[in-house]
Structure 1
Amino acid sequence: MLTPLDIQNQEFRKAFRGYNEAEVDEFLEQVLHDYEELYRTNIDLRETTERLKSQIQYFQNLENTLHNTLVVAQEAAEEVKVNARKEADLLRKEAEVESRRIVDEANAQLQRIQAECDELRAQGQLFRSRMRMLAQSQLELLEEKELRREIVE
């Protein structure tokens, strides 16, 4: 596409009777073609400008509607947040109570288990002690029998 500078700087060679007519005609055709294209583009741009102005008005109206909707939504969201905080606080308190109850139950169960373990340890010691006494008495009996055999022999 030609620029104004191209048109300004265009030089034609001189021919026998002046400028070369074919070059001038060719250049004028190119200028005419480019001018027609610019003219059509200008019309298209004007139509586009009008269409865009209409769309801008539509979007401005939409923006106002959205702004109002957003304000209402923000107010509703704030109310939801307040209610959610209240509910969260209530749930947290309930969870704390429940966790304390579970911990207390676990501690009580731990104490029962520890008491059972202590009882089992005591029973184990008693069992071992009795087994030692039984083993010792059996050993003494064996020693007596051996002693009697030796005497008898």
Structure 2
Amino acid sequence: MALTPLDIQNKNFSTKMRGYNQDDVDDFLDQVTKDYEDALQKNRELEKSLKHAEEKLQYFNELKDALNQSIIVAQDTADKVKTSANKESEVIVTSAENTANEMISSAEKRSSNLITSAEEKAKEILTDATDRARQLAAETDDLKKKTRVFHQRLSLMLEAQLEQVKSEEWNELLKPFSSYVSDSHTVIKEVLAKELDKDEEVAPTSTPVETVDKPTLEQAAIDPKAMLDLLNKNPE
């Protein structure tokens, strides 16, 4: 059984001759009791502190275990996320590559179709242009032939017209009008004279003829003799 301060304080010693001084022993016991009590108090405090420290240590150990577990869980989660991300990345990359390959294949096919269509269209346009050029060349040659024929005919016609212009008929047509008037007077006089001669042969000699001093235009229009007299008086 552990010794307590109270045991020390209540301890009694027997006395003998030439023994210890009672007061000194009591004082010393009091001091020992006090010191022992202080030591016990400190020990209790140390035990309390130790217990508190042990509790803290246990808490930290538990926290450490929890942290370690959290780290393990986090690491495991990170590994799973990384693995999942890698798989997802591989899937995305594979899908992207497949899509890109499909797009490239489609683009190449479309490009090939466009090139083929463009080549066919170009050949068609070239063929049409060649046919049209040949047609235009043929039409041009035909037009040139017709133009040459027309030129030849026009030349012949112009030569004929030129010969006609140089003929006596044109010289007659180009004579001054006054010459026609003079000639017409002569012709008219001759015609009227012949008509008067015919009338004199037919008419009886006993019939008196009225003399007109100055025939008018109205009389000349219906009477040949009056017209002849009018022409003789006005030769112009």
TM-score under structure 2 normalisation?
A: 0.37
Matched, 1:152 2:153: yes
Corresponding residue of 2:199 = none
Percent identical pairs in the alignment equals 16
Corresponding residue of 2:70 = 69
Corresponding residue of 2:111 = 110
Corresponding residue of 1:78 = 79
- Structure whose alpha-carbon radius of gyration is higher: 2
Corresponding residue of 1:88 = 89
Offset of residue 63 of structure 1: 6.5
Corresponding residue of 1:139 = 140
After superposing the two structures, state which structure 1 stretch, 110-119 or 60-69, moved more. Answer: 60-69
How far apart, in 2, do the equivalents of 1:94 and 1:137 lie? 63
Letter in 2 for 1:72: V
How far apart, in 2, do the equivalents of 1:68 and 1:123 lie? 79
Letter in 2 for 1:111: S
Following TM superposition, the consecutive aligned residue runs of length 4 or more in structure 1 with deviations greater than 6 angstroms are none
How far apart, in 2, do the equivalents of 1:97 and 1:88 lie? 14
Letter in 1 for 2:137: Q
How far apart, in 2, do the equivalents of 1:81 and 1:130 lie? 71
Corresponding residue of 1:51 = none
Letter in 2 for 1:69: S
TM-score under structure 1 normalisation?
A: 0.54
The structure carrying a bigger helix percent of its residues is 1
Offset of residue 69 of structure 1: 2.4
Letter in 1 for 2:78: A
Provide Cα deviations, 1:110-152, integer angstroms capped at 9, x if missing partner: 1111110110110121011012112211211221121111221
Structure 2, unaligned stretches of length 5 or more?
A: 1-52, 155-236
RMSD value, Cα: 2.5
Provide Cα deviations, 1:54-112, integer angstroms capped at 9, x if missing partner: 9xx69x83963445423321221111101111121122222222222221111111111
How far apart, in 2, do the equivalents of 1:113 and 1:89 lie? 35
How far apart, in 2, do the equivalents of 1:150 and 1:102 lie? 68
Provide Cα deviations, 1:2-44, integer angstroms capped at 9, x if missing partner: xxxxxxxxxxxxxxxxxxxxxxxxxxxxxxxxxxxxxxxxxxx
Structure 1, unaligned stretches of length 5 or more?
A: 1-53
